[in-house]
Chains A and B, each alone.
Chain A
Amino acid sequence: MSKDETLGAALRRQGISRRGFLKFCAATASMMALPPAMVPAIAAALEKARRPSVIWLSFQECTGCTESLTRSHSPTVEGLIFDTISLDYHHTLQAAAGTAAEAAREAAMEENFGEYILVVDGSIPLGNPGFSTIAGISNQSMLLDTAKGAAAIISVGTCAAYGGIPHASPNPTGAVSVSDLIKDKPIINVPGCPPIPMVITGVLAHFLTFGAIPELDELGRPKAFYGKSIHDRCYRRPFYDKGLFAETFDDEGAKKGWCLYKLGCKGPTTYNACATTKWNEGTSFPIEAGHPCLGCSEPDFWDGGGFYKALSMPTEDIARTAVYAVGAGAAAGVALGAMSRAKKKRAEKAHKKVTIDDLEKGG
């Protein structure tokens, strides 16, 4: 597959029909909340798009994000689109290793300076450069170096977007997100642990079509996918509204598919496309499988007070605070009470009775 081959040609070569390609374009348009009139524009842009160079850097991560994208299902149009970008560096997927791999990255950077897309998964440790290195280069210097020539950066997964699990308290490696280090490049956050495969292909398609990054929310996430909370799109929402909750994982409520709020569901405060796009080719998503949402696409989800603790429960030990407060209040109350008693006694002592003589003297 030559670098100059267009996406359209590459897809046709791989046996994707025009009909299949347009279906993908229509699905992408509707997913990104674009009007149907945009479908031909998307198709035309994708058809003509040169395979963009993509450099994928993996830092403090578990490879789950890569697994999500590559092993999601047997090849689909989305998968082929993904294959069809020029993935010039990805140390898990590329054949080259060691010096050759690094040479590939440097060559891609030089050839496509200012035009390549940088994809990052994993957080960056600032505690000590030695905590995570690739070919002897610290994650921080590799990111800063590679970001210089990038047209845009896509932070894939919650670790790259917000620090994720490495950033969780007490954050032993001093992990930070990409946006903590890079301030002068457009950054698209695609959080999730891992993110939905369709979301990253959608973001790539948007970038190829419009040559610009999609509309983002205040946390840097594409609004098309992260615009609505899980709770607002959840098929179990009617049970929440009625107050019908599963109390345990195997009670009648759980079997009847009632709301998982009491089991710690973070759906009300989590923005992601799981409830609509779903996973495994639209098969299901965690809540449909009977497990509460962990809130994995939100910053600090690991420190959210416990996955199985309901949202309305406090995250600190309030009972202990209450005991201390009552104890201190009783002590302070007794002290203040004793002071006012003493004051009363002093006043009583100082009190002089007025006699008839006093009154007569005064007159």
Chain B
Amino acid sequence: MSETELLLWVRGPALQIATAIFLLGIVVRIVEILMLGRKKNLAEARGSAVAGGLRTMFSRSIPDRGTLQRSMFNVVAGYVFHIGFFVVLFLFAPHILLFQDVTGVSWPALPTPVVDATAVVTMIALLAVLVHRLLNPVMRFLSRFQDYLVWLVTILPVVTGYLAFHRVDVVPPPTLIVVHILSVELLMVIFPFTKLMHAFTLFMARYYNGAIAGYKGVNS
């Protein structure tokens, strides 16, 4: 397969396959979780479960003082790479064109040099969390193969995108674009079957926690 054919394949059929697996997997898992249902709470409600649930979905995004004191590094590095990843993914002009083409919705891009710098910061933060995971005895003990796998598929699109944008001539630049798109498709394909699902289940878990507390009339 020539470079051109590869590029057409990753932009077309491969993206279709990845999108199908990504969305199908996510929807199956979310519907499954929702259908598990909750046991009927026979106790009298002392507050609104819905209000508590919705509040907690957002309030948990702000780290409490205890967590911050205990694991300052995790919180800061975690926030930096998450925000960085979102900025690079959603605010880079060529990416917005992709979303516009698929969804019809468009939004303003950040200036490319800002996105470029953000990509560097994101890569540094991702490397830092890996080093931390390897050096911290507890973290290393708790880490399984999947933790390293999801780290790899997260950093790959950022690294390959950075190389493709700067056209670092390790391989011909069009091949870099192919590798970049493939790395994103890899991320999409393994997403529903790994911890990466937290991007969606996180809010469901927060809602349930908040709803339980809200029903009891306490803050969560």
> What is the interface of chain A, defined by CB distance below 8 A to chain B?
219, 229, 231-232, 240-243, 245, 261-262, 268-269, 298-301, 303-305, 309-316, 318-319, 321-322, 324-326, 328-330, 332-334, 336-338, 340-341
A245/B177 in contact, CB under 8 A: no
Q: A229-B174, A312-B95, A314-B101 are in contact. List 8 more A-B contacts (CB 8 A).
A: A261-B93, A268-B167, A299-B2, A299-B4, A318-B101, A325-B23, A329-B24, A337-B31
Q: Which B33-47 residues have C-beta < 8 A from chain A?
A: 34-37
Q: With an 8 A cutoff between CB atoms, is B72 at the interface?
A: no
Q: Give Cα A319 to B97, complex, Å.
A: 14
Chain B residue with Cβ nearest A344: B36
B15/A229 in contact, CB under 8 A: no
Residues of B contacting A314 in the complex (Cβ-Cβ under 8 angstroms): 11-12, 15-16, 98, 101-102
- A334 close to B35 (CB less than 8 A): yes
Q: Which of B4, B98, B111 contacts A300 (CB 8 A)?
A: B4
Contact B113–A243 (Cβ < 8 Å): yes
* Chain A proximity of B180: nearest CB distance (Å): 10
| Chain B binding surface SS class | helix
Among A298, A299, A310, A329, the residue within 8 A (CB) of B94 is A310
- B1-52 CB contacts (< 8 Å) to partner A: 2-5, 7-8, 11-13, 15-16, 19-32, 34-37
Give residues in B with beta carbon < 8 Å to A.
Answer: 2-5, 7-8, 11-13, 15-16, 19-32, 34-37, 93-95, 97-98, 101-104, 109-113, 115, 167, 173-174, 177
Do B16 and A316 have beta carbons less than 8 Å apart?
yes
| Distance of B192 from chain A, by nearest CB (Å) | 9
Among candidates A231, A261, A300, A324, residue contacting B173 with C-beta atoms closer than 8 Å = A231
Residues of chain B lying within 8 A (CB to CB) of residue A240: 112
Structural contact, A329 and B23, CB atoms closer than 8 A: yes
- Chain A, Cβ-Cβ closest to B28: A333
CA distance A311 to B15 in the complex (A): 14
| Distance in Å: Cβ of A266 to nearest Cβ of chain B | 10
With contact pairs A231-B173, A314-B98, A340-B32 given, residues A324 and B167 touching in the complex (Cβ less than 8 Å):
no
Instruction: List, sorted by A's number, 21 A–B pairs whose CB atoms are closer than 8 Å.
Output: A219-B3, A229-B174, A242-B111, A243-B93, A243-B109, A243-B110, A268-B177, A300-B5, A312-B98, A313-B98, A314-B102, A315-B8, A316-B11, A316-B12, A318-B19, A321-B16, A322-B102, A326-B23, A329-B28, A330-B27, A333-B27
A305 to B97, CA, bound (A): 14
Pick the 10 closest A-B CB pairs, nearest first. Answer: A333-B31, A337-B35, A329-B27, A243-B112, A312-B94, A325-B23, A315-B12, A329-B24, A269-B174, A316-B12
Q: Which residues of B contact A219 (CB under 8 A)?
A: 2-3
Query: What residues on B are CB-neighbors of A298 within 8 Å?
Result: 4
Closest chain-B Cβ to A48's Cβ sits at a distance in Å of: 38
A224 nearest CB across to chain B (Å): 16
Residues of B contacting A316 with CB < 8 Å?
Answer: 11-13, 15-16
Partner of B93, one of A245, A328, A340, A341: A245
Q: Please report the C-alpha to C-alpha distance between residue A315 and residue B97 in the assembled complex, in whole angstroms.
A: 13
Supposing A299-B2, A333-B31 touch, asked if A318 and B15 sit within 8 A by C-beta, the answer is yes
B191 smallest CB distance to A (angstroms): 13
- Which residues of A sit under 8 angstroms from B174, Cβ to Cβ? 229, 268-269
Tell which of A229, A311, A315 has the most Cβ of chain B within 10 Å.
Answer: A315
Check if B94 sits within 8 Å of A325, measured CB to CB: no
Would B35 and A340 count as touching, CB distance under 8 A?
yes
